[in-house]
Chain A
Amino acid sequence: MIASLRSLSERFRFGVILVPLLLLLTTLLLAPPDGIERAPLLQFVGRFHPLSVHFPIAVLLIVPLFEFLGRKRNAPFLLPSVNFLLLLAAVGAILSAALGWCLARGGGYSGPLIRQHMWGGLLVAAASLICWRLRSGDSAAPSRFYLPMLLLAIVLVSFTGYRGGQLAHGETHLTEFLPSPVQRWLGPSSRLTSVSSAGENPSTFYGGRIQPLLEGHCVTCHGRNKHKAGLRLDTYAGVMRGGKHGPVIKPGDSKSSELFRRITLPQNDDDFMPADNKKPLSTSEVKLIGAWIQEGASRTLSAEALAALPANDANRLTTEVTFPDLDPAAVVRDRTVVAPILSRVQLRLPNIVEYESRTSADLVVNASWLGSKFGDDELAELASLSPFVVAADFSGTAITDRSARIIAAMKKLHHLRLAHTAITDSTIAGLGTLDQLESLSVFDTKVSESSLPVFTSLARLRKVYAGGTRIPQDVAAPSQVREKLVF
Chain B
Amino acid sequence: MNASLDRPVEANGLGKRFGAVTAIDRLSLHLERGEALGLLGPNGAGKSTALAMLMGLRAPDTGEVRLFGHRPASAAARAMMGVTPQAAGFPEQLTPREVLAYASARRAERVPFDDVVAAFGLAPLIDRRMAGFSGGEVRRVALALAFLGRPGLVFLDEPTAGLDAEAQQAFRAIARDYVVEGGALVLTSHHWDEIEAVCDRITMIDKGRKVMDGTLADIRARMQARRISFALPEGQRPPDWLQAARHGDHWHIESDDSDACLRRMVEEGIGFSGLTIEPLALQDIIARIRPEERP
Q: Decide whether A and B assemble into one complex.
A: no
Chain A contact residues, CB within 8 Å of chain B: none
Residues of B whose CB lies within 8 Å of any CB of A are none
